[in-house]
């Protein structure tokens, strides 16, 4: 796999992960979904998973952009 394709894939993963984590953090999607499934007791623990996941994917996106810019400058 080439470096450019790897950077592109890393950036796409970071952006998609950030969007999904942000959607789950800031909207009632998990509450409605877990309410339908009948497992609303899990909602209390959801912040322990979603907020670190959001931070990780934002960091991954920043790293991918930095890496892409570095490789563009060196080419």
Q: Residue 40 has what pLDDT?
A: 84
**In sequence order, which ranges of the chain are alpha helices (DSSP H)?**
3-26, 29-37, 46-74
Interval 7-63: pLDDT, tens: 899 999 999 999 999 988 887 888 888 889 888 888 888 888 888 999 999 999 999
Q: Confidence band (pLDDT; 50, 70, 90) for 1?
A: low
Interval 40-54: pLDDT, tens: 888 888 888 888 999
Q: Residue 11 has what pLDDT?
A: 93
Residue 18 CB coordination number (10 Å)? 20
């Amino acid at each position: 796999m080439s470096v450019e394709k790897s950077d592109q894939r890393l950036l796409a993963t970071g952006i998609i992960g950030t969007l999904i984590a942000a959607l789950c953090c800031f909207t009632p999607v998990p509450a409605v979904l877990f309410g339908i499934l009948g497992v609303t007791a899990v909602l209390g623990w959801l912040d322990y998973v979603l907020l670190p996941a959001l931070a990780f994917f934002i960091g991954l996106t920043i790293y991918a952009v930095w890496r892409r810019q570095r490789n563009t400058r060196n080419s």
